[in-house]
Structure 1
Amino acid sequence: MGLDDFVVTFATYCRQRFGERVQKLTLDASFTCPNRDGTLGRGGCTFCNVASFSYTPDSGLPIATQLQQGKQRLRAKASKFLAYFQAYTSTYEEYAVLQQRYDEALASTDLVGLCVGSRPDCVPDEVLDLLLAYQQQGREVWLELGLQSAHDATLKRINRGHDFAAYADAVQRARQRGLKVCTHLILGLPGENADMHLQTLQQVLAVGVDGLKLHPLHIVQGSIMAKAWRSGRLSPPSIDEYVQSAGTLIRHTPREVVFHRVTAYAKPPVLLAPEWCSSRWKGLIGIVDDLAQHGGQGAALSR
């Protein structure tokens, strides 16, 4: 059995929506972040090195070229695609620039929509209205918001530059328009435990959410956390700790919420720790085993 047997995955959602597999094509549109350019701060979040979270064929290439390279790489897997603006904050730019880059991606006939990654404090109403316009044209549109934790003390510790209230405001404005929101959570952040992970999920569900991405804390080259890890002041989660927390969150998530991801990986030399995150499969196999033993998505809600 696989993950689809226990979880409402994004792949399952797309098969139901489009009748076939749909692949995300990751793009780097040369956006930056207010936590890096000096608007809020410099250096970014303490865990961040964007190279560990995204793949782009060649940053700096035109969007059309990146899309073509991505299609060539994934054409054997799918014939329909979503443009995924992932790197840094993909709503943090002038309105006209955002519209031009989104339009360029959607000009391809086999692109069925957009996934746009952003921060909760970088989604003004005019950007939400732009995304809504694409959705009203029949496009599949997801706003992906990096929250990581609902605990304000943690958000301050990792230098996010916003609080949970900013996240709740952005989600409410997006979902009032009928836009789908996928929220990113990191399990294993400094000072947090499994109970706090569950509290974060419960607060996210209380605000309302359409999709989730779970991510184990990575210590990556070039991040602020790398210094703390090298000095022995920071330990990322073990595979058992992560699997147990992820399984618990999945069991406490209603089945109307779509899981876009339940774990993630990175490769050396970018990845410093934990070693198990260098494998695409170790975390996923562990989670499937946990779900098979203790119950799948929503199981804890029906007891």
Structure 2
Amino acid sequence: MAVLSEFVETFGQQLLREFGERVHKVTVDAGFTCPNRDGSRGRGGCTFCNNKSFHPATAARGIADQVREGMRCVRRRTRARKVIAYFQTYTNTYAPLSRLSAAYEQALAVPGVVGLSVGTRPDCLSEAVVALIASYRDRGLSVWVELGLQSSFDETLARVNRGHGYGEYREAIALLQRYRIPVCTHLIVGLPQEGRDHALHTLARVLSLGVAGLKIHPLHVVRGSRLAHDFRAGRLVPLDLPTYVGIVADLVERTPRHVAFHRLTGTAKAALLLAPDWCIGKWRVLNAITAELARRGTRQGVFACEGVSSW
């Protein structure tokens, strides 16, 4: 039976080569908020967002306790002894520098933590914050910044109330590249009024600026999000699984092999998920993507040099 790593360069493979053993990410909730919620950029957040859908179960604990519990879970599941602390919830560069430094240091002080991954928005990166993150790389740690772009189309970003445009993403990438910090860009497939061509154009634009990693998510509708109202009113029909799998296979084929895929699907807890139902678990989706690439007889990068016309 074919396995995904035969066709796709995964982040797990990359970490295995870098450290010589398995390394996993553990999620951290440091209690930060978002400028799209507190009024700085907007209120209510992105229309698809309900942070409870990726809120760690240990979030009520301190940062170090969250990391230690995450490590215990990883060791039980995979026996991996090393982890990267992933600051995921909301915007993890949106706080005074002293608070950011204190939060990162608490996670990095836990034995077995070998890296830091910081999830944030393109409009929340100052030079001082980027310099702070770069300082951890200079200490020999594996360091990543994960930028939530979702789409390169400003009309789409406005439609889902992102509170920033593609221009801010370009500026953020340029700043991070000056400090030699690798970037993993988050993209959502199936956003309102977007289809396959939008996904391909967004990928081409992201790759043209330079990126070290990608996370691909399907749009899913969760309770408590503004998008849930559109779904219940029949104004939104999420992608079916075959359509999503086909688009992801197209994206994989057009992505150079040096770019690592940190994720090819996304899930939500059953209690929160409204649609599509196939977003409850990841393995059905990953197996379908693997099967599609095997059926095509292709793999990552086979069409990486293919140009995409201007939109």
Kindly indicate whether the alpha-carbon contact (under 8 Å) linking 2:119 and 2:146 is maintained by their aligned counterparts in 1: yes
| 1:178 corresponding residue in structure 2 | 180
Give 1:302 deviation, angstroms: 6.3
Mapped pair 1:235 → 2:251: no
Q: Secondary structure at the match of 1:147?
A: strand
Q: Distance in 2 between matches of 1:298 and 1:108?
A: 37
Give 1:264 deviation, angstroms: 1.4
The AA in structure 2 aligned to 1:68 is R
Q: Distance in 1 between matches of 2:28 and 2:47?
A: 23
Kindly indicate whether the alpha-carbon contact (under 8 Å) linking 1:212 and 1:261 is maintained by their aligned counterparts in 2: yes
Using the size of structure 2 for normalisation, the TM-score is 0.95
Q: Trace 1:29-178 onto structure 2 (pairs within 5 A).
A: 29-52=30-53, 54-76=54-76, 77=78, 78-178=80-180
The AA in structure 2 aligned to 1:94 is P
Mapped pair 1:300 → 2:306: no
Q: Trace 1:194-209 onto structure 2 (pairs within 5 A).
A: 194-209=196-211
Using the size of structure 1 for normalisation, the TM-score is 0.98
Q: Trace 1:270-289 onto structure 2 (pairs within 5 A).
A: 270-289=272-291
Give 1:137 deviation, angstroms: 0.6
Q: Distance in 1 between matches of 2:60 and 2:128?
A: 26
Q: Distance in 1 between matches of 2:294 and 2:173?
A: 32
1:146-204 residue CA offsets vs partner (Å, 9 max, x unmatched): 00000111000000000001001101110121100000000000010101100000000
* Deviation larger for 175-184 or 69-78: 69-78
Q: Secondary structure at the match of 1:115?
A: strand
Kindly indicate whether the alpha-carbon contact (under 8 Å) linking 2:254 and 2:305 is maintained by their aligned counterparts in 1: no
Kindly indicate whether the alpha-carbon contact (under 8 Å) linking 1:63 and 1:104 is maintained by their aligned counterparts in 2: yes
Kindly indicate whether the alpha-carbon contact (under 8 Å) linking 1:30 and 1:60 is maintained by their aligned counterparts in 2: no
| 1:250 corresponding residue in structure 2 | 252
Q: Secondary structure at the match of 2:287?
A: helix
* Deviation larger for 214-223 or 287-296: 287-296
Q: Trace 1:259-274 onto structure 2 (pairs within 5 A).
A: 259-274=261-276
Q: Distance in 1 between matches of 2:182 and 2:92?
A: 16
Q: Secondary structure at the match of 2:303?
A: helix
Give 1:222 deviation, angstroms: 0.4
The AA in structure 2 aligned to 1:251 is E
Kindly indicate whether the alpha-carbon contact (under 8 Å) linking 1:57 and 1:69 is maintained by their aligned counterparts in 2: no
Q: Secondary structure at the match of 1:291?
A: helix
The AA in structure 2 aligned to 1:24 is K
1:1-26 residue CA offsets vs partner (Å, 9 max, x unmatched): 21111111011000000001101010
Kindly indicate whether the alpha-carbon contact (under 8 Å) linking 1:29 and 1:60 is maintained by their aligned counterparts in 2: no
The AA in structure 1 aligned to 2:13 is T
Kindly indicate whether the alpha-carbon contact (under 8 Å) linking 2:68 and 2:110 is maintained by their aligned counterparts in 1: no
Q: Secondary structure at the match of 2:123?
A: helix
Any stretches of 5+ residues in structure 1 without a counterpart? none
| 1:20 corresponding residue in structure 2 | 21
Kindly indicate whether the alpha-carbon contact (under 8 Å) linking 2:188 and 2:219 is maintained by their aligned counterparts in 1: yes
Give 1:60 deviation, angstroms: 2.7
CA RMSD in angstroms, aligned pairs only: 1.0
1:127-158 residue CA offsets vs partner (Å, 9 max, x unmatched): 10001000011000000000000011100000
Kindly indicate whether the alpha-carbon contact (under 8 Å) linking 1:220 and 1:273 is maintained by their aligned counterparts in 2: yes
The AA in structure 2 aligned to 1:74 is V
Aligned residues: 302
Give 1:41 deviation, angstroms: 1.0
Q: Distance in 2 between matches of 1:152 and 1:231?
A: 25
Q: Distance in 1 between matches of 2:62 and 2:107?
A: 10
Q: Secondary structure at the match of 1:298?
A: coil
Give 1:109 deviation, angstroms: 2.4
Kindly indicate whether the alpha-carbon contact (under 8 Å) linking 2:25 and 2:83 is maintained by their aligned counterparts in 1: yes
| 2:309 corresponding residue in structure 1 | none
Mapped pair 1:4 → 2:14: no
Any stretches of 5+ residues in structure 2 without a counterpart? 307-311
Give 1:279 deviation, angstroms: 2.2
Percent identity, aligned pairs only, is: 47
Kindly indicate whether the alpha-carbon contact (under 8 Å) linking 1:57 and 1:70 is maintained by their aligned counterparts in 2: no
Paired residue for 1:219, among 214, 218, 221? 221
